[in-house]
Amino acid sequence: MDRALLYISSRNYSSWSLRGFLLARLAGLEFDVESVDLNDPVARAELLNQASSIRIPCLLHEDLRVWDTMAIAEYLNERFPEAGLLPADKAARARCRSIAGEMHSGFQALRASLPMNLRAHRPGFRIWTGPRADIDRILGIWRDALSQWGGPWLLGDKPCMADAMYAPVVTRFLTYDVALEGPCAAYARTVMEWAPMIEWAAAAQEEPEPPIHELEVEAEF
């Protein structure tokens, strides 16, 4: 059987590509990664939040083509139910779907103002009201889930679909110097020490593509 293939755009800038990669790793899928040329208008539009739909990442598996990160997540959960992309507990499973869906469809101010950039660090970055509201909501989601299910992951003692969805947010918080305390700080460390995250971040540092200047947001004082 041929190995699966995951099409991604930029490891450094693409939060959606990172989510697809983490989901495939969670599923235990054997797959190769192929990067799409960033001059491709579809890839560039998605990175710059100018696309009406998200078609990258795209998973090719057993003659099927699946795009959109939530579709990839649900497909992998159906295909590999033993992997635990969704928690076994009914309440945790419902929460997982709810907060993963909220990440998938919301937080537009955060996306626009704090683009993912793994190679950057912006200490003292000024965060305006719109993205601040998104940050407060995300931290509230984390605190509630960690309190109810005991951590170290959002829904218990192992990573699931929700953690893959929020992992790029952790990188944003670190890039733009968002203050994290207590359980949220511990959760961020857990995510960044996750083996697939380490793998992805290392590859991002070696990525040959030049910077995308529209996504190189500088600190404002």
pLDDT in tens, 94-124: 999 999 999 999 999 999 999 999 999 999 9
Q: Is residue 72 part of a domain?
A: yes
Is the pTM of the predicted complex or chain greater than 0.75? Answer: yes
- Tell me the three state secondary structure of residue 156: strand
- Tell me the three state secondary structure of residue 8: strand
CATH of the domain at 67: 3.40.30.10
Q: Is residue 44 part of a domain?
A: yes
Whole-number Cα distances in Å, 159 to 23, 142, 164, 197: 10, 13, 8, 12
Q: In the structure encoding, which two tokens stand for residue 206, read together?
A: 């070696």
Q: Which domain holds residue 42?
A: 4-83
Shared domain check, 101 and 72:
no
Shared domain check, 186 and 101:
yes
C-alpha Rg value of the chain to the nearest Å? 17
Q: Is residue 174 part of a domain?
A: yes
Shared domain check, 29 and 113:
no
Q: Is residue 140 part of a domain?
A: yes
Q: Is residue 221 part of a domain?
A: no
Q: In the structure encoding, which two tokens stand for residue 130, read together?
A: 């719109």
Shared domain check, 199 and 94:
yes
CATH of the domain at 96: 1.20.1050
| C-alpha–C-alpha distance, residues 6 and 75, integer Å | 14
User: E strands, the chain, where?
Assistant: 4-8, 31-35, 58-61, 64-67
Q: What is the pLDDT of residue 221?
A: 39
- Please say whether the beta carbons of 164 and 172 come within 8 A: no
What are the pLDDT digits (tens) for 9-58?
A: 999 999 999 999 999 999 999 999 999 877 777 777 777 675 656 789 99
Q: Is residue 209 part of a domain?
A: no
- Tell me the three state secondary structure of residue 158: coil
Shared domain check, 116 and 168:
yes
The last residue of one of the domains, among 26, 54, 83, is 83
- Please say whether the beta carbons of 49 and 112 come within 8 A: yes
Q: Is residue 212 part of a domain?
A: no
Shared domain check, 17 and 96:
no
- What strands lie across the sheet with 4-8, from one edge to the other? 31-35, 4-8, 58-61, 64-67
